[in-house]
Amino acid sequence: MKIIRKILNLFTAAALLSAGAQALAAPSWVAPRNGQLPAGALACGQENGQALMSCRGSYNGGIQPGKMAGQNCNIAWGGKEIVIAAPNYEVLVANPNEVQWVKGQNGSVPNGAFIGGQEGSRQLPVCRAGYNNSVYPGKIVAQNCNIGVGGKEILVASYEVMVASAPATAHPIPAPGAPPVAVTAANSSNAALSPADTAKVLAWMARQTATAKQPYCYRQSYGRGVGVPLSTCGPGDQKNGLLCYPDCKAGYGGAGPVCWASCPSGYTDTGALCTRPADSYSNSGGSGNCDSGYTNMGLYCQKNSPWFGTREKSCPSGSYYSAGLCKVNCKSGYTNTGLTCYKGPDTVAKSSYGRGAGNPMKCAAGQQEDAGLCYSYCKTNFAGVGPVCWQNCPAGTTNCAAGCSVNASECASKTANMVIAPLILAANIFTLGASSEITAGKAELTAALKAKDITAARAALAKTMTAYASRLGEMTTKEVAVTIQKQFAPNAAKWVATEYGKTQLYMATKQTDAQLAESYARDLAGLDPTGVAGVVEAFTQSICNSDEPFPKVTPLTNN
């Protein structure tokens, strides 16, 4: 509250705006307090006889109109009904007598349609549509009024569109990429950028400023894919089951923590033993090739002797004669049983030795282990936590959950409440000194609003903002001011700086009276409040060390 009072005293915001309150009244968006709807919340539909208020919340880089459901703002997006909890939404406040609902279908939107949000370059008019005997507030997207019901996004081709003045002929809503629905601005004749490009540039300026000046920033992050199981062992290790063991020495094979000797040839490995069955074969060799002078008699070799008719019997080399037969010699390890060579069964125990309890497997080359899974390495200045790479906190700051803070107390306060952040940054514009141009502009603006002279008030505000814009480097950073000077011609650069100053005043004023802030934005400053959503988001969700390049825009003037 002390900061708010300081700002009000410096710029006398309450006096400036309350003096012209009646002249500037218009439908506006107001944040709920303590879970209560703001006074004057406009009933835009009904469900089972219960009134439904229109609301809008920040989601996926845009501002999405929807419906109040309990203490939440439910929006339709991506085929689903998305729930946005307080304090991340605003409620539509308006006098029902100053609002009309104009019938439309298939994407038609009347002139004067009330713009409730924005998504990229497309602005989102507030609509309502009948569904299942109820009427739901929503947003115009392409050819339909999109409403959230029962957890789903429902597209209705026949609907009503909210207007704050008498409607004119209906016209189709722009397609994606086309210029958005025009919002009348007091300075539109000398605008240096289109509304969409203005929003891009102001949001970029705010993000760079918030990064440099806020005591708390959100760390950038990106996904690095789903983790995969550990699968690799190091050099000299062998994978066995889910562990890695040292390779066994030659002649041994590994089974978990033990290296076992290989079985001899002819033996079967049965675990800790090597077994061999019994074996035998006939040792009958036949006559084979008889030696010279001998006759092959089938089972032996014979040579007749000239002496007394005797016959000499013999066997081929490598065999011997026994009991009328030629028999071969048994192989080593076999026993001659007469008719066979026999070797009995055998079992031997394998030798073994231990090789340790084993170590966990590792990630493959180019991967990083985290909680038992493997992920790709994060880029420089980022650290991995599971499937997400988080930016390292800048030097001089401390890790604070999803962000970084200058100290532990800032971490606690920022984590608990980020609402005050835009007010702190917006206060920059009020502490730039009291030059004669600024002082004169304030006095003229006060007098014009007291007299309810809107034309004079606009001129005085422009004079004051021009004076502030000459000190853009103090409102933002020196780097931002230099970039704006390089990107735009002199007059265009002044226009951009002035628009940035207006957004600062808008945010500071919104902290004290949201409804009058909307009136100031539309009727005095020529701002579309939905267009400054990116600036507000940049302050409430400032990014650490943002290396975001300047956005690509097309200036409308070369001077």
Nearest to 57 by CA among 402, 540, 546, 508: 540
Distance in Å from the first CA to the final CA of the chain: 43
The Cα–Cα gap between 470 and 203 comes to 19
Whether the pLDDT of residue 410 is over 70: the answer is: no
pLDDT band at 38 (very low <50, low <70, confident <90, very high): confident
Instruction: Tell me phi and psi for residue 242, to 5 degrees.
Output: -105, 15
Task: Say how many C-beta atoms besides its own lie within 10 A of residue 318's C-beta.
Answer: 10
pLDDT band at 461 (very low <50, low <70, confident <90, very high): confident
Nearest to 196 by CA among 485, 426, 530: 530
**375 and 225 in contact (C-beta within 8 Å)?**
yes
pLDDT band at 508 (very low <50, low <70, confident <90, very high): low
* Surface-to-core class of residue 241, CB atoms within 10 Å of its CB (0-12 exposed, 13-18 middle, 19+ buried): exposed
Whether the pLDDT of residue 269 is over 70: the answer is: yes
pLDDT, position 9 = 39
- Residue 16: helix, strand or coil by DSSP? helix
* Cis previous bond, 87, omega within 30: yes
* Residue 189 token pair: 């004749």
**Position of tokens 């009958």?**
284
Task: Report the percentage of the chain scoring pLDDT > 90.
Answer: 28
Spell out the residues 6+ positions from residue 70 whose beta carbon is closer than 8 angstroms to its own.
Answer: none
Question: Beta partners for 66?
Answer: 55, 75
pLDDT band at 245 (very low <50, low <70, confident <90, very high): very high
pLDDT, position 525 = 63
The Cα–Cα gap between 482 and 498 comes to 15
- pLDDT (average), residues 355-367: 90
pLDDT band at 66 (very low <50, low <70, confident <90, very high): very high
Give the amino acid at 461. Answer: L
Whether the pLDDT of residue 139 is over 70: the answer is: yes
- Across 71-85, 295-309, 509-523, the highest mean pLDDT is recorded for 71-85
Whether the pLDDT of residue 258 is over 70: the answer is: yes
Spell out the residues 6+ positions from residue 78 whose beta carbon is closer than 8 angstroms to its own.
Answer: 60, 153
DSSP letters, 234-263, are -TTEEEETTEEEEPPPTTEEEETTEEEEPP
- pLDDT (average), residues 307-312: 58
- Across 298-302, 319-323, 547-551, the highest mean pLDDT is recorded for 547-551
pLDDT band at 438 (very low <50, low <70, confident <90, very high): low
- pLDDT (average), residues 387-396: 85
DSSP state of 524: I
pLDDT, position 80 = 94
pTM: 0.42
> Does 509 or 247 have the greater pLDDT score?
247
**Position of tokens 């203005």?**
198
pLDDT band at 257 (very low <50, low <70, confident <90, very high): very high
- pLDDT (average), residues 284-313: 65
Give the amino acid at 43. Answer: A
The mean of the pLDDT values for the chain is 77
Whether the pLDDT of residue 463 is over 70: the answer is: yes
Helices 2-11 and 490-510 sit at what angle, rounded to 10 degrees?
Answer: 130
**Position of tokens 């992050």?**
221
pLDDT, position 152 = 95
pLDDT, position 322 = 73
**478 and 485 in contact (C-beta within 8 Å)?**
no
pLDDT band at 436 (very low <50, low <70, confident <90, very high): low
Nearest to 536 by CA among 513, 497, 510: 510
- Residue 202: helix, strand or coil by DSSP? helix
Question: How many helices, marked H, and strands, marked E, lie in the chain?
Answer: 13, 42
**512 and 14 in contact (C-beta within 8 Å)?**
yes
Instruction: Tell me phi and psi for residue 35, to 5 degrees.
Output: 75, 5
Task: Report the percentage of the chain scoring pLDDT > 70.
Answer: 73
Whether the pLDDT of residue 417 is over 90: the answer is: no
Nearest to 266 by CA among 164, 317, 313, 334: 334
Whether the pLDDT of residue 92 is over 50: the answer is: yes
The Cα–Cα gap between 410 and 177 comes to 41
- Residue 482: helix, strand or coil by DSSP? helix
Whether the pLDDT of residue 530 is over 60: the answer is: no
- pLDDT (average), residues 121-138: 93
**420 and 410 in contact (C-beta within 8 Å)?**
no
- Residue 237: helix, strand or coil by DSSP? strand
Dihedral sign, CA of 91, 96, 99, 100?
positive
pLDDT, position 523 = 59
- Across 63-72, 384-393, 510-519, the highest mean pLDDT is recorded for 63-72
DSSP letters, 24-52, are H---EEE--BTTBPPTTBPEEEEETTEEE
pLDDT, position 418 = 42
